[in-house]
Amino acid sequence: MHQLDLALTVMGLAVVTIALLSAAIHRNPLSEPMLAMAVGVAVGPYGFGWLELSRWGDETMILEQASRLTLAIGLMGVALRLRRESVRRLLRPVGLLLTAGMLGMWLLSSLAALWILQIPLWAALLLGAIVTPTDPVVASAIVTGNFADRHLPLRLRDGLSFESGANDGLAYLLVMLPVLMLGHGPTAALSTWLLQSFLIGVIFAALIGWAIGFGAARLLRLAERYALVETTSLLGYTLAFSLLSLGAASLLNADAIVSVFVAGLTFNLCSERADEHEEEKIQEGVAKLFALPMFVLFGIGLPFDAWAALGWPLAGLAAAVLLVRRAPVIAALFPFIRGYWKGKDACFLGWFAPIGIAAIYYASLAEKHTGDPLYWHVASALVFVSIIAHGMTAGPLTRRYSLGERASDARKDAGIHSANTPDE
């Protein structure tokens, strides 16, 4: 009980302090996830030693369930934040990123792990799959808030949000294929993957999410029509059906991450909301309320001794994944998405694909299925490096993007003015 009370105190103080300093944080090369993680390291076994996950129970189970819940709340916030017109306009380019883009990121990350860590092929493919998805929780810290609204265009903010929300669930397919291959023969693994991971895990999960989201939108509309609902705030309602999606999909052995995002997106597209802006802000606040304690928890559970044992190859892999996991894929796909995003947008998207809570979840899942802690040891290091690298560069590069955008607009205006000015 002492550990629980102390953990609640630390997490509460961290969330309140970060919230009070949010504007100052965005003006500096810092990020909210980075600060929350630093708090976790400080109070964990490698800091003051106040908190230790092993004293709470099974560390893998704790991280898996905590990250699953945090992802569910974060994904619901992303789904509700997307503009309907953005979903329609970005469906094709985001679809390309979710297919060819994810496969390319998986391949490049896996090759880096295979070459640098010298591990078996399927183990490398599993590590590559764990770090493939763009994390929606860390990405939200980059593309939401007043700072992002002032400096980044809507097409970029919605594009990164849409992709990061959708690819978390689809990464389940990439993770489960090597997990099954490591534990079964190729024929049995492939048939199990097609049935349990693809048909039930993703397709059935999407159907569950659609049914819950559509039903939630229709029921809310009927309740408002007959004056059965007392308040128009969607906060409690959306939290409730995000938990419903999470629990129902898990009970039916489907991928709950897919169900939650599809449920939120369906609700968004089918509901009639007149107070979207206020609901977005409320949902963002709730997502942070869950996400920041998760990063504190992550900081507490970091395996620094295991990192030291892996040595320089782990540092080399972290650098390689940051540099080659995303940018070459976006560059290769740019001719197909240039009608939707500019060259500067592609550069931004090529760098800002953070690795975060989704990787924590899938690394815990991989360790549970295989019994090998290597996946958690490596993935946790990549998440740690990504949070620092993307957190420190988010503010400066966002400002640089904004300055370049304004300069480009000024040149266009000057060109128009020059063309319209009669010769003397």
Rounded distance between C-alpha atoms, residue 298 and residue 388, angstroms: 13
Are the C-beta atoms of 179 and 126 separated by less than 8 Å? yes
Which residue pairs, CB below 8 angstroms and at least 24 apart, start in 244-252?
244/212, 245/72, 245/208, 245/209, 245/212, 245/213, 246/68, 246/69, 246/72, 248/208, 248/212, 249/205, 249/208, 249/209, 252/200, 252/204, 252/208
Give per-residue pLDDT as tens, 135-158: 988 888 788 777 788 888 989 999
What is the number of other CB atoms lying within 10 angstroms of the CB of residue 117?
18
Please state the φ and ψ torsions of residue 423, each to the nearest 5 degrees: -65, 140
DSSP 382-417: HHHHHHHHHHHHHHHHHHHHHHHHHHHHHHHHHHHH
Low-confidence ranges of the chain (pLDDT < 50): 277-278, 407, 409-424
Q: Return the structure tokens found at 342.
A: 């500019």
DSSP 291-311: HHHHHHHHHHT--HHHHHHH-
Q: Return the structure tokens found at 261.
A: 């995002």
| CA atoms within a 13 Å half-sphere pointing along the CA-CB vector of 216 | 26
- Predicted pLDDT at 231: 59
- Predicted pLDDT at 83: 84
Are the C-beta atoms of 335 and 102 separated by less than 8 Å? no
Burial label for 293, CB within 10 Å (0-12, 13-18, 19+), is buried
For the CA atoms of 149, 154, 157, 159, the dihedral, rounded to the nearest 10 degrees, stands at 180
- The predicted model scores a pTM of 0.90
For the chain, the C-alpha Rg in angstroms (whole number) is 22
Give per-residue pLDDT as tens, 19-70: 888 777 777 778 889 999 999 999 999 999 999 998 888 899 999 999 999 9
DSSP 87-138: HHHHHHHHHHIIIIIHHHHHHHHHHHHHHHH---HHHHHHHHHHT-SPPHHH
Distant-in-sequence, close-in-space partners of 273: CB < 8 Å, separation ≥ 6 = 234, 279
Give per-residue pLDDT as tens, 281-306: 556 667 778 889 999 999 999 999 99
Q: Which residue from 17, 25, 21, 51 is spatially nearest to 297, judged by alpha carbons?
A: 51
Strands (E), 268-398: none
Which of 248-284 are b and which e, b meaning 16 or more Cβ less than 10 Å from the residue's Cβ? bbeeeebbbbbbbbbbbbbbbebbebeeeeebbebbb
- Predicted pLDDT at 245: 92
Domain spanning 2-22+30-392, CATH class? mainly alpha
Are the C-beta atoms of 144 and 166 separated by less than 8 Å? no
| CA atoms within a 13 Å half-sphere pointing along the CA-CB vector of 160 | 28
Rounded distance between C-alpha atoms, residue 94 and residue 141, angstroms: 20
- Predicted pLDDT at 273: 59
Rounded distance between C-alpha atoms, residue 186 and residue 35, angstroms: 44
What is the number of other CB atoms lying within 10 angstroms of the CB of residue 68?
19
